[in-house]
Structure formats: structure tokens, C-alpha cells
Amino acid sequence: MDFEVTYTEEQESFRTEVRAWMEANVPRDLAKRPRTPEENLQNYLLRRELGRKLGEKGWNYPLAPRQYGGGGLNVDHTIILEEEADRLDLSLPPYYDSGGRLGGASILVWGSDEQKERFLPPIYKGEVRTWQLLTEPGAGSDLAGVQTLAVRDGDDYVINGQKIFVGSDNGADRIWMIACTDQHGARHENVSWFMLDANLPGITVQPMELMGTGGEGGTDSGEKNTVYFDNVRVPAIALVGGENNGWRVASTHLELEHGGGGRLGRNRLWERLITYCKTTLRDGKPLTEHQDVRDMLAEIYTKGEVTRLFGLRNFWLTYARQPKSYEGPQLSYHRKMAGLWMTGAILEMLGPAALTTDEDWGSPDGFLESQQRNGIIAVHPGGTADIQRVSMARRIGIGRAARELAGTVH
Amino acid sequence: MDLALTEEQQLLKNTVRSFMEREAPKQTLVALQGSERGLEPGMWETAARVGWLGMLIPDEYGGSGGSLTDAAVLFEELGRGPLPGPFFSSAVLGALTVLEAGTEEQKRQLLPGVALGQTVLSVAVTDPNNSWGPVGVTMTPSRRGEAYLLNGAKTFVPDAVAATHVIVVVRTGAGLEDVSLLVVDTSARGVRTRLLPGFIGWQGELMLDDVELPASALLGGQENGGWTALESALEKATPLLCAYQVGGCQAVFELSVLYSQTRIQFGQAIGRFQRVQDHIIRLTNHLDSARWTTNEALWKLDSGRPARASVHMAKAVSSEAYLEACNAAHEVHAGIGSSQEYGLVKHTQMSRTLFHVLGDPKWHKRRMADALDW
């Protein structure tokens, strides 16, 4: 076994090129948390600009096919790009774009040539930011029960309904969604998958007031919204994968969202936490010299390491094209539950300093306060922890009569 | 990156598995529960003949000099039984301790016998205070001329009754790590071993009553170097005990999945109930946590990377995992799980026993924190 990604000379020279480019093109302090709405918008615009520059080089979506505006790069080069972005506390793309990341995968599998040519290049080149619209007030864990209705009308579909927990701050250019296209059809065979312009008449976006917005990995979204559809007319080309085939189309990205792709990367929270504990004094000595703190840090570290190893394993399974079963939802479940548990562990270990963003009495950038909120929030998006357990059970072969195969990650 | 076993390792895995199915079926393993040594002589001879007892011993001392990951493949399969017997005590911790601490002459004297199965080693670390660090080593030899004189008890000595020789860890100086290793022939005068009764498995008491040892019994020939050598041996040996625990978790997982698919209550397989599924998912997560922390520690050791923190983590995680896996399995199985004949109990008993062997999870997490330099 070899747990280390080893680099060829060619990769190392690519790294040199990437690092030099990033140094020249990534604005200073881009990863620093904005403090005001103005700073936040400014930061978003800078990130989008960086995304377009990365897109020109094929580095915004390095693994995506070159034919459709991606980098067409292999895993070896993608790893270098992700590591170099990670070094600067960034992800690729450098802005919240879960719609592009997940939707792109589905379009590649299910889209017609025309749809691929039309929808994919703007995403991969960083010209548009894309949101995913799945959850509804009446369809959360039971996603197949969506009631937003898309009715065929001539060459168009007309959409009516409501989606919640959508997107991010600062708006989107494109959206994709699943909607019911046959109110009397059988479950899983009555939904369709649409990719559309986010600014069509009849679409209204309203921010939700939430405790936090932490999603699963990637860039924090900053905000979640309710999106209303009032007789929104979309051309039929928006339909990807055929009418009433939307559940299959969605399965492609749901597997990705459930951790099926795996992950390499630093544990930024841990790095900040251990630095904080080494440099913060209690009773005249650093927190790391108190036995109770050390014991709790050991528990936190161990859970983080197991999460890392599950991510590494899934990454390897994906890229070595090994058969997968329950590993995707297992990673997701483990990460979610570790994060939730950690809110209590950190609160117990560090006290009220973990609850304030105050510059004097809280943690740098309020990173602990953010974890207190987002460790709870992150249990839900992309399938709740309980749903991950349901998926695991099916794939282990105990949930349903027939063992269910894992989805495919392309 | 490549997280797969090599072809040779896969072949070894298959070989051990078919050996286990043939030589150590469930009835045999259940029957071994009451035995003093934990194995039938035939098994031990077979293990020696096919080279399993010499896997970590270099060629020049009669072994085959395999990697730790190779040996882990063997130990995971043994753990599936779990097949008791002094495999780990002798072929791993015993052999590695002699390799780390012994003089050339001592290695030549002891290791070929270990590989052949004629010499069975065990290492007695814990005194009656049962602590795994050097501070807990209190048994102190006195001198009679050149010879050492040993008195007192070592407790919770793994496979003490099966061992032909026990490496006894003793205090020879006032400094924390002033510890030495003495090889005691268990057939010598004044040596008594006794199996500890109860839920514990194959741990013994070693009673030493005026046992006289020649100076040549001191591993390495010099006093006070024992702890460094032992620590080094423990670092390499521990992940193999973890692999054994991983094998145990894997077996308990398979047992539980099968039972939940076939046990019918309320008109359906109990695996359809989410409460039952939750036990199995908890079990799965413990199994994989143990497996991957162990695999990474093995890889670090085999590739010469600093591994101490990973080894401590693997032992903490694997010990908790095996214990929790058995707990979850008992919840899945309910009544039938407690039947000796069914086959879960032997794992439960082993998971409790191994929880403390080489140090418990709390002890290892604290050593991990030290190794990470917090």
C-alpha cells in the first residue's frame, strides 16, 4: 500500500508553473472572511474574476473535458492544482458553485451534444455561477416527492412552485432543478431535470434567515435563499436526460454530494484549533499543557484523521476505478457526525470564547464561533446524516430485499 | 497512491483464509476457548512449516524477512477467527524485541527456534500495577555474583502459559527509562505460570521465586538500554495486533450482516428495521476506522516514515472499534449472540482482552498527543 500521492518530475514542474501563476493572479487576502456586506460583494467579484482567469487556462474545472471548456487534465495535474489552491485556502472553483460542480457531472452523462455545448462551457470557464435547486418545503429527505410542477406547453415548459435552502449570497446566473412532470406518475418516474437561466421572468429570490450556512466542503455559501417560480417559461432544451428521467440524472450528482468522489486536502479547522490552543493561556499556561484539553484534542484529532482517511480511500476508489459500495455515504455520515460532536467538544474545552466573534475575546476571524453554528448546520445539506445511514444500509445489503449498487462518479 | 494489497499479499490472504476454514472452523475455535494454550499442536506446526512464525525474522536468523504489511495480512485473517495462540506474542512482539535488543549471539540463539515454532516467546511488561509505560516497571533483580536473581510477579502476561521463554522487563536503575530485558526460560527452577481465569483470554501470571539467571540472559548485554529497544519493538508490533483486531471486526461485521438478512421477526428480515441497521452502521464505521488507521500506520513503518503518532492512534482506534463492534453485534443478535456455540462470544471476549494489551485507548491517545508535539 502507498498512502502518498507521489509526484513525477513533470508534476513538480507543473506545480512551479501553477504556483507562480497563483502568486501573480490571486489577490492578497482573498481567503480572509469579509466583515461587511460591501467587503463581501467585493470579495465575491474578485473571486469570480479569478475564476474567469482560471477558466481561460482550464484550471477552474481541471478534470472537465477540454471540448466543453474544462481543463481536460488528468488526475495528476488536478491534484497539483487543488493542492496549490488549498495552500491559499481556496477551492476550485474559487467561489461557491455547487450547481456547476454537481450539475456539470450530470450534464456530461445525460445531456445531448447540443446541451453539453450550450450549458457546460460557461460553467467550466467561470463565466456563470450556478445554483442547485432540490429541496422544497414538502420535500427534504424525501426528495423524490418534489411538487414544483413543470408542464409542457408547446416548445416550452412552464414551472410553478417553491425551492428552499438554495445557493448563496450574491446571486446566480444559472440554476438547475428537479421538478415534477407527471403528477399522477409513479414515484421516481415522474420528475425531470432542468437547467435554466436564473434571471427569467417569474423567478424571485428571497434570502432565508438561518443560524449558519455551512455546507459540505468547498466554499462557504454565506447565505441560503427561497426561490419562487411563478409561471416561469423555459425552452424545452432546458430538459436534460428526457422527461420523467430526472431521478436518474440526479443520482449522478447525489452520489458526488454524498462523498462518493472522495477528497484530498488539509483540515483547516484543525490547524487553526491547535494553533489557538498552543497560543492561548489558561491559568498562566498554554491550553495545550492542560491534561483535559490534551485529552479532548486527541479525540478531535482522531476523528479528523479518520475522516481524512475515509476521504483518501474514496478518492483512491474513484480514481483507481475500484468498485464502491457504502463508502460515499459513510464519509458523509462520519464527517457530519464528527462535526456535530465537535461543537460540544470545543465548547466544553474552550468555553464561551468559542461562541463570540469578538476580536479581543473570541478566536481569530471567529473561526470557532463559525464552527459552533456550522457544525450543526452541516448535518443536513446533501442528505441528512440519517439519510446517509439509510443509503449505507441499502448498499451493505440489509435495507432492501435487493442490494443496491453505488452510483457512478465520472 | 495505491491502497490495494499486492498480488502476493492477496495470495497470502487467500492461503490463510483457506487454512482457517480447514483447520480452525467455528467448532474448533469454540472448543479452544477452554484450552490453556489456545491452540492445537498441529496448527502451530503447520504455521511454522509454512513460514508464518518467521515472517518478521530476517533470513539470516531463519525467517523470511517480510514487511509489516505482509504480516498484517496474516494477522487480519487470524483475527477473523479469532484464532488464539501465541502467534503475536512469539512471532511478532517476542521476535521483534529480540531483534531490537539482542546481541548477535542472542539473535542466533533465539530467533531460528521462534521461526520453527520450537521456541515460544512472550514479553512480560506489566507489573501488578498494570501500567504500560516505563514508570510502571518496578520488578528489580538482585545480583548473586554475575547472575541475576528475580523475585515477584508479572501480571497479565499474554500467552504466559504457552511460552517457553518470557522476556521479563525489569528495573535496573533510578532513571525513568532505566529498564532492562531478561530472558527467562519458563522451565527453569522457580518459574511458575498460571492462566488467569474468567472473561479474560490467555493472559497469565508469571511468578518468579528466586529464579537465577546467567548474565547472558540480559538482552543486549548491557543494562538500562531495554526501554528504547522495547519501545522500538512495540512501535512495529502494535499495528499487527491492530490488524488482528481489524480481522475480528470484519468477522463480527459479516456475522451481523448475515444474521440481519436471515433472522425473521414481525414477518420480515430484521435488517429491514432501521434500529437494527443503525447497529450495523455503527459497526461498519468502527471497522473501517480501525482498518484505515492501521493500514496507514503499517505503511508509514514499512516506508521508513515517522510513525509513532499513527501507531498510537491505530491502537486506540482499533481497540475501541473491536469492543464497540462486538457491542453492536450483540445488539443485532440479542439472545442467540450470547450462546458460546454461536461464535460471537469468542470475539467479545477477545475484544475485551485486547483492549488493554499493549495499553488501552486512553493511554495511547496521550502518547499520540506527546508524539505530535502539542
Question: Mean per-residue pLDDT for B279-300?
Answer: 98
| pLDDT tens digits in sequence order for chain A, 410 residues long | 999 877 889 999 999 999 999 999 999 999 888 888 899 999 999 999 999 999 999 999 999 999 999 999 988 888 899 889 989 989 899 999 988 888 999 999 999 999 999 999 999 999 999 999 999 999 998 999 999 999 999 999 999 999 999 999 999 999 999 999 999 999 999 999 999 999 999 999 999 998 887 644 445 678 899 999 999 999 999 999 999 999 999 988 777 766 666 767 778 899 999 999 999 999 999 999 999 999 999 999 999 999 999 999 998 998 888 888 999 999 999 999 999 999 999 999 999 999 999 999 999 988 999 999 999 998 988 889 999 999 999 999 997 654 455 554 44
Does residue B292 sit at the A interface (CB-CB below 8 Å)?
yes
Q: What is the dihedral of CA A65, A69, A70, A74, to 10 degrees?
A: 50
Predicted confidence (pLDDT) per residue in A78-105, tens digit: 889 988 998 998 989 999 998 888 899 9
pLDDT of residue A259: 64
Closest CA to B171 of B148, B187, B194: B148
Q: Is A309–B293 a contact, with Cβ atoms under 8 angstroms apart?
A: yes
Does residue B174 sit at the A interface (CB-CB below 8 Å)?
no
C-alpha cell at A306: 479518520
Could you give the percent of chain A with pLDDT greater than 70?
94
Query: Which domains does chain A carry?
Result: 9-95 (no CATH), 130-245 (2.40.110.10), 261-396 (1.20.140.10)
CA distance A2 to A321: 16
pLDDT of residue B255: 97
Type and span of the H or E element at B127: none
CA distance A252 to A249: 6
Q: Is B272–A398 a contact, with Cβ atoms under 8 angstroms apart?
A: yes
Question: Mean per-residue pLDDT for B79-87?
Answer: 96
CA distance A315 to A263: 6
Whether the Cβ atoms of residue B286 and residue A303 lie closer than 8 Å to each other? no
Closest CA to A81 of A54, A99, A104: A54
Dihedral angle sign, alpha carbons of residues A350, A352, A355, A359? negative
Test mutation, B275, B288, B373, chain A, max A CBs within 10 A? B288
Query: Which domains does chain B carry?
Result: 7-120 (1.10.540.10), 122-225 (2.40.110.10), 228-371 (1.20.140.10)
Considering all CA atoms of chain B, what is the largest pairwise distance in Å, rounded to the nearest integer?
A: 78
Q: Is A333–B2 a contact, with Cβ atoms under 8 angstroms apart?
A: no
Residue B204 pLDDT greater than 70, yes or no: yes
Does residue A335 sit at the B interface (CB-CB below 8 Å)?
no
Q: Is A313–B276 a contact, with Cβ atoms under 8 angstroms apart?
A: no
Closest CA to B173 of B134, B211, B208, B209: B134
Test mutation, A3, A318, A349, chain B, max B CBs within 10 A? A3
C-alpha cell at A119: 450549458
Dihedral angle sign, alpha carbons of residues A285, A287, A293, A295? negative
- Across chain B, the runs of DSSP E, i.e. the strands, are 121-124, 142-144, 147-158, 165-171, 179-185, 191-195, 203-213, 264-265, 268-269
Predicted confidence (pLDDT) per residue in B27-36, tens digit: 999 888 888 8
Does residue A313 sit at the B interface (CB-CB below 8 Å)?
yes
State how far residue B274 is from chain A, nearest Cα, in angstroms: 8
Could you give the percent of chain B with pLDDT greater than 90?
94
- CB < 8 Å to A82, chain B: none
Does residue A305 sit at the B interface (CB-CB below 8 Å)?
yes
CA distance A84 to A247: 36
CA distance A88 to A29: 9
Predicted confidence (pLDDT) per residue in B302-352, tens digit: 999 999 999 999 999 999 999 999 999 999 999 999 999 999 999 999 999
Q: Is B1–A5 a contact, with Cβ atoms under 8 angstroms apart?
A: yes
Q: Is A295–B3 a contact, with Cβ atoms under 8 angstroms apart?
A: no
Residue B361 pLDDT greater than 70, yes or no: yes
C-alpha cell at B357: 494489551
pLDDT of residue A319: 80
C-alpha cell at A403: 442490494
Q: Is B274–A389 a contact, with Cβ atoms under 8 angstroms apart?
A: yes
Does residue B366 sit at the A interface (CB-CB below 8 Å)?
yes
Q: ipTM of this predicted complex? A: 0.96
pTM above 0.90, yes or no: yes
Phi and psi for A338 in degrees, rounded to 5? -65, -40
Q: Is B369–A294 a contact, with Cβ atoms under 8 angstroms apart?
A: yes
- CB < 8 Å to B289, chain A: 306, 309
Question: Mean per-residue pLDDT for B165-172?
Answer: 97
- CB < 8 Å to A297, chain B: 369, 374
**CA distance readout (Å), B271 to B277, B332, B333:** 6, 9, 11
**CA distance readout (Å), A365 to A209, A211, A356, A359, A360:** 21, 17, 10, 8, 11
Shortest CB distance from A398 goes to which of B260, B288, B372?
Answer: B260
Report chain B's mean pLDDT, rounded to a whole number.
96
State how far residue A34 is from chain B, nearest Cα, in angstroms: 31
Q: Is A302–B362 a contact, with Cβ atoms under 8 angstroms apart?
A: no
**Beta-carbon contacts of residue B178 (< 8 Å; ≥ 6 apart):** B171, B172, B223, B224, B227
